[in-house]
Amino acid sequence: MNDRMNRLHLAMKEADVDAILLTDGYNIHYLSGYKGHTGCMLVIDDKIYILTDSRYTEQVSIEAPSATCVDIGMDGYAKMLLKLVPANTRLGFENNEISYMKYKAYSEAFGNSIKLIPMDGRIDALRQIKTDEEIEKLAEAEKIGDIAFERIVDYLRENVKNNISEMDVALELEYAMRKNGASGLSFDTIAASGNNSSLPHAVPGNRILKDGDFLTMDFGCTYEGYCSDMTRTVYIGNTPSDKQLEIYNTVLKAQLKALDMVKPGVKCSEVDACARDIISAAGYGKYFGHGLGHSVGLFIHEEPRFSRKCDDILASGVVITVEPGIYLPGEFGVRIEDMIVVTDDGYKNLAGSPKELIKISL
């Protein structure tokens, strides 16, 4: 934690603030160890305070022993902060995270005695480069995803003739991840079949898997607080159409070419453009609307991102997804996603599941 706190103090110095108020649960976890996601963290010089209510005071003492736990009692957060923060303090706050209601409450409580200074994402940036320990946890979470995918392929082959639904698939994936060491899910599992697979964030329903369907599965879990993320698309049946094969192979080609670009010093937007250009050249550019990928850590969507808008430079230690897709409205969609870590000379793929098209015979 000392290195993390040192980097926090450097960010505070760059922003010219005397103290800082953290309200994002993931940043509080990262900097203190407290995982409760209820409360806030105040740093003044070398003092760390975690403000919360009586439900979490014991948890704070266990997970964040270096912090002083403050029970807000009946005072509430704003009044308690006013007791702790000296007058004439320039207090940094996470303006990208805080709600207007909280900001208004703090502003009214502090009046002219404490000046709130926006940090503009400086705290989130501390989490971009993962340590070896963090990468090990992320890799273990992704390994659990690999095990779940292997299990779901077996499950599909054993049960596809029994009128199984998207929801059956989602539940089986979630069970497999939990059974193999996951502490939770990093996001709601997606299992989208047939025309539902043209919806990038489809919600699993009662639709029965049918011959000729693509089935897109996007799933992830948490391991010791760190997330995984993987997407695979399989085919239900024996003989995909020429169009289905074209779409699948185009997405796979785009993903592999984008992966080949990954190394320190490359702009995120350039990696996105590589995949996007391949899909556009095949005539499907307008059917790939989302970014190519996002960083992953304690939270499932972190920075930097592979997108047209992100010109951040890749650095060793960034963990990020590569997930191109093509979605034809009313017909079908294909997405393929791996989670990788940028290394000194390229990247390491944390996902080991096969990407050639798997066919589930009926």
Q: Read out DSSP for 239-269?
A: ---HHHHHHHHHHHHHHHHHHHH-STT-BHH
**170/310 same-domain check:** yes
Residue listed under structure tokens 């159409």: 241
Task: Please say whether the beta carbons of 180 and 147 come within 8 A.
Answer: yes
**282/304 same-domain check:** yes
Task: Please say whether the beta carbons of 322 and 337 come within 8 A.
Answer: yes
Find the domain containing 54 and state its range: 2-125
pLDDT in tens, the chain (362 residues): 689 999 999 999 999 999 999 999 999 999 999 999 899 999 999 999 999 999 999 999 999 999 999 999 999 999 999 999 999 999 999 999 999 999 999 999 999 999 999 999 999 999 999 999 999 999 999 999 999 999 999 999 999 999 999 999 999 999 999 999 999 999 999 999 999 999 999 999 999 999 999 999 999 999 999 999 999 999 999 999 999 999 999 999 999 999 999 999 999 999 999 999 999 999 999 999 999 999 999 999 999 999 999 999 999 999 999 999 999 999 999 999 999 999 999 999 999 999 999 999 98
Q: Which residue, of 125, 148, 178, is where some domain finishes?
A: 125
Q: Which residue, of 103, 125, 147, is where some domain finishes?
A: 125
Residue 19 belongs to a domain with what CATH number? 3.40.350.10
pLDDT of residue 271: 98
Q: What would the two tokens of residue 207 be?
A: 């639709």
Sheet holding 226-227, edge to edge: 184-185, 221-223, 226-227
**114/237 same-domain check:** no
**136/120 same-domain check:** no
Q: How many domains does the chain have?
A: 2
Residue 90 forms beta bridges with which residues?
115
Residue 223 belongs to a domain with what CATH number? 3.90.230.10
Q: Which residue, of 75, 109, 125, is where some domain finishes?
A: 125
Query: Exposed (0-12), middle (13-18) or buried (19+): which is 75, by Cβ within 10 Å?
Result: middle
Task: Please say whether the beta carbons of 90 and 18 come within 8 A.
Answer: yes
pLDDT of residue 1: 61
**111/139 same-domain check:** no
Cα dist from 197 to 213, 214, 345, whole Å? 9, 7, 36
CA distance 82 to 87: 9
